[in-house]
Amino acid sequence: MTVIRAFVSRSAPLMACLGLLAIWQVAALMLKTDSFPGAWEAIKAIPSILGDQESLINILASIRRMAIGFSVAVLVSIPLGLMMGRSRAVASFFNPLLMITYPVPKAALMPIILLWLGVGDIAKMLVIFLGVSLPVIYHSFQGAKAIEEKMLWSGAAMGLSAAQRMIRIVLPAALPEILTGCRTGLVLALITMVTSEMIARQSGAGNILFNALDMGQYDTVYAMIIIIGAMGIGLDAAFERLRARLVRWSEPGFEIPLSFA
């Protein structure tokens, strides 16, 4: 029974995707419209997209922008969130700014950013940075805020400075919450990446998608949606495996090996 449950648990995402594709194919056969090709037609267009050098360069450019925007956001947001969680003065200063910017869709800022920075990579990476920063800051803040004061008092009694306590106590204790924010930010990075490329249509996966839409190549449009969705699923799965390894100690039922006790 354990083996069967493990198989069902691992195959559930694949079965869900296959079920969705089957529903899509049936719906397309029933509607019979050029603007809604079947799942099989979209899947058949994927090899031609990935085999085209220009399309592949565009997709790789999207991944590069996403990676840079996400990385910079994480490097800035984690320290800021931790400081907000441990300092009322820092939290009081930044909370109003975050409350103002949080409800604003980041794509809505794109026209203003384009006026400032043009249509190049910097503008797109800035939008990705803004989209990723808020969830990472919030979860870092919550993780740091939840730490018991006794742990920090013990560190101070051992002679650790404020910076050392932040690195050696606060950061490890808040890591599970931080990685939850990073996982959310990774999905938002993909969304804002595609959205920014749709608005500033110069290169990237969003540019391929909208160019195909303009030319009525609907199989390519849906093929790009599948490719972008597969990118999201793959990145999320890879990050979840990394997260599980990094914070395995925080999972219920985890026991420290006797050799390390």
- Domain containing 117 — which CATH number? 1.10.3720.10
Instruction: Report the Cα–Cα distance between both ends of the chain, in Å, rounded.
Output: 33
pTM, rounded to two decimals: 0.86
More confident residue, 113 or 231: 231
- Report d(CA 120, CA 68) in Å as an integer: 14
Task: Please choose, from the candidates 126, 11, 145, 16, the residue with its C-alpha nearest in 3D space to the C-alpha of residue 73.
Answer: 126
Predicted pLDDT at 154: 85
Is 26 inside any structural domain?
no
Over 80: is that where the pLDDT of 189 sits?
yes
**Residue 10 maps to a domain:** no
Q: How far, in Å, CA of 192 to CA of 198, rounded?
A: 10
In a domain, 12, yes or no: no
Amino acid 252: pLDDT: 56
**Mean pLDDT in residue range 204-232:** 90
Q: Which domain holds residue 233?
A: 35-246
Helices (H), the chain: 2-31, 39-51, 53-86, 88-101, 110-117, 121-145, 149-157, 162-165, 171-199, 205-214, 218-246
Number of domains in the chain: 1
CA distance 90 to 83: 7
pLDDT above 70 as % of the chain: 92
Domain-located, residue 55: yes
Asked if residue 28 belongs to a domain, the reply is no
Give pLDDT tens digits for 88-102: 899 999 988 888 887
Domain assignment present for residue 217? The answer is yes
**In a domain? residue 64:** yes
* pLDDT at residue 84 greater than cutoff 90: yes
261 part of a folded domain? no
Q: DSSP state, 161? A: -
